[in-house]
Structure 1
Amino acid sequence: MKEIRLKGKTIVITGASSGAGRAAAVEFAQHQPNLVLASRNIDALDEVAEECREFGADVLTVETDVTDPKAVIALANTANDWRNRIDVWINNAGVLAAGDFDSTPMEVHEQVIKTNLLGYMNGAHAVMPFFKSQHYGTIINNISVGGFTAVPYGAGYSASKFGLTGFSEALRGELTKWPHIHVCDLYPAFLDTPGIQHAGNYTGKQLRPAPPVYDPKRLAEAMVNVADDPRTSTYIGSTSLLLKVSHALFPELTTKLTGSIMRRYFKGAAPISPTSGNLFNTVKYGMAPYGGFGIPGKPKAHRKYIAAGLATGLVAGLCLTLFRK
């Protein structure tokens, strides 16, 4: 097994109070770095910090709203002042809102983009002066499959994630003369986290992630590996690569099929009142790494979903090719 060399390094994780961010904090803690954990929920952060300290990690918690550029600058300054260095910055804080585009308030779309896209840009903008001063550093962007596959009924979310992919590519182009500063993108498939419980929901229906749903620990392990050995793009879960290939070969068909599947789900889903979830304020529920939707620790159980999806995509693509002739 490859040795992970993160002991004593300073690692900043945004959105660390629940879900993938919390799973990542615990995974990193086992390698005893200096962890700076940030989110809007300081009480939940303090709970995560205590768990991480049990593994021997030094931990600092900083209440931070990533949509506020000044707050993110303060986070970077605090992290650097604490150990006089920042080795890894993980942009992870994210939100979701679902609903017909025109039925979802524009302030909701705006907040999703401010958090998911501008929040990541705020993080990179705040940490980059430190990286350039010390001539090294790694930014890890947790983007998701939404970075290349559109999510119907999540237009603001799709705009933010597609934007992140472009932002990362542009930033890497600027940094070619800084060979030891890395911008790394992660594309996990659907994760068993509380994120969908926290979502703004204007569909009128209860939301569930589409199977297969993966253990967030797999994303956390990928973050650790990329922090230790930076690489440009990492796909977590076979579904992620399947969707990447499907969209690359049949973009229009993939989007139409996705929309059709979601409409079919809405027909049978339980009704729910509209909610803004955690978009504008933190919440006190769902602070665990897991959301209770998946089958954590059993990756082989996903194969039936992956095989079915692959077969459906190939048949649909073949039919589309034949009909075009």
Structure 2
Amino acid sequence: MTTPTDRKVVLVTGASSGIGEATARLLAERGHHVVLGARRTERLTEIAEKIRAAGGSVQCHPLDVTDAEQVRAFVEAAHSRHGRVDVMVNNAGVMPLSKLEALRLDEWNRMIDVNIRGVLHGIAAALPVMRAQHQGQFVNIASIGAHQVSPTAAVYCATKHAVWAISEGLRQEVGGDIRVTTVCPGVTESELADSISDPVGREEMRTFRSVAIPASSIATAIVFAIDQPAEVDVSEIIVRPTASQA
């Protein structure tokens, strides 16, 4: 549990399930104030009610990260209520895998919009606030796919490599007061695979996900990076299942 002076205002996108939900719950349990955003508002409300029932501090907002104005309003609402934004967890993502020859352009564009533009929108909204307050941290959720490519995952991996590259560029640019952490989960239990409409991609992922770790394991890594002293920047964390060879 954090002390009152250690408590941070942490914004989490894609907080309605998976890594986002697990991270929000753990942060609130540790005493941080969490601000949750996602498109599924009913699910967000359920999560917020459970966090409050356990004694946590939480607020939630409908959020589509592909809409830059919505992301700006999300950050502004948190700043208006708490007077600061300490951490921005850019977690929202989609993963509709398919081979390139399937030519699923709509799904490619959706991944680019959510996985890349969503992170950029989060940075654009929160960076001016962090600059003004001379402190802050971005935690950008990439993937093991940022470092290796597999069949059916070329576009997804490209978007996650972009998240890694954007994060590294941001880290070098902001040095000093603002920390930047990239988290690259390996196979993790989540709803991401539910977005795979291509039968080949779905079967590929079913096999790949035969060994997976719970979302709470990734949440633990995220909270570890957030809870480090201000002078310590955990630049990247890769978390894999112990049994995974990938």
Report the TM-score when normalising by structure 2. 0.91
1:52 CA displacement:
1.1
Helix, strand or coil for the counterpart of 2:195? coil
The aligned residue for residue 58 of structure 1 is: 57
Instruction: For residue 5 of structure 1, report the CA deviation from its aligned partner.
Output: 5.4
Query: Which residue number in structure 1 is paired with residue 188 of structure 2?
Result: 191
Q: Which residue number in structure 2 is paired with residue 233 of structure 1?
A: 236
Q: CA deviation at 1:199?
A: 3.2
Counterparts of 1:129-208 in structure 2, within 5 Å, are 129-176=128-175, 179-201=176-198, 203=200, 205-206=202-203, 207-208=205-206
CA distance in 2, matches of 1:171, 1:196: 29
SS in 2 for 1:162: helix
- Please tell me whether the aligned partners of residues 2 and 32 of structure 2 are also in contact (alpha carbons under 8 angstroms): no
Contact 2:193-2:202 within 8 A present in 1 as well = no
Preserved CA contact (<8 Å) 1:91 1:120: yes
Q: Which runs of 5 or more structure 1 residues have no equivalent in the other structure?
A: 240-301, 311-325
Cα offset, 1:204, TM superposition: 7.1
Tell me the distance in 2 between the aligned counterparts of 1:147 and 1:118.
16
Instruction: Report 1:1-325 matches (<5 A).
Output: 4=2, 8-176=7-175, 179-201=176-198, 203=200, 205-206=202-203, 207-208=205-206, 209-229=208-228, 230-237=233-240, 302=242, 305-306=243-244, 309=245
User: 1:151, 1:157 within 8 Å by CA — same for their partners in 2?
Assistant: no
Go from structure 1 to structure 2 and tell me whether the alpha carbon gap of 1:106 and 1:83 turns closer, same or farther (over 3 Å shift): same
Distance 1:137 1:162 in 2: 23
String of CA shifts for 1:250-280, please: whole Å, max 9, x gaps.
xxxxxxxxxxxxxxxxxxxxxxxxxxxxxxx
Aligned residues: 239
Query: What amino acid maps onto 1:25 in structure 2?
Result: A
Deviation per residue, 1:41-77 (Å, 9 max, x gap): 0000001101111232221111000011111111111
Instruction: Name the stretch that deviates more: 155-164 or 133-142.
Output: 155-164
Name which of structure 1's ranges 47-56 and 72-81 shifts more when overlaid on structure 2: 47-56
| Code of the aligned partner of 1:234 | I
Q: CA–CA distance in 2 between the matches of 1:65 and 1:52? A: 22
In the other structure, the counterpart of 1:323 is none
Question: What is the CA RMSD across the aligned residues, in angstroms?
Answer: 1.9
- Is the alpha carbon distance of 1:37 and 1:205 closer, same or farther for their aligned partners in structure 2, counting shifts above 3 Å? closer
Q: Which structure 2 segments of 5+ residues have no match?
A: none
User: How many Å separate the matches in 1 of 2:150 and 2:51?
Assistant: 34
Runs of 4+ in 1 over 6 A off after TM superposition: none
Go from structure 1 to structure 2 and tell me whether the alpha carbon gap of 1:205 and 1:59 turns closer, same or farther (over 3 Å shift).
closer
Q: What TM-score do you get using the length of structure 1 for normalisation? A: 0.69
Determine which structure has more spread, i.e. the larger CA radius of gyration: 1
Aligned-pair identity in percent equals: 28
Q: Structure 1 residues 224 and 81, CA, compared in 2 at 3 Å: closer, same or farther?
A: same
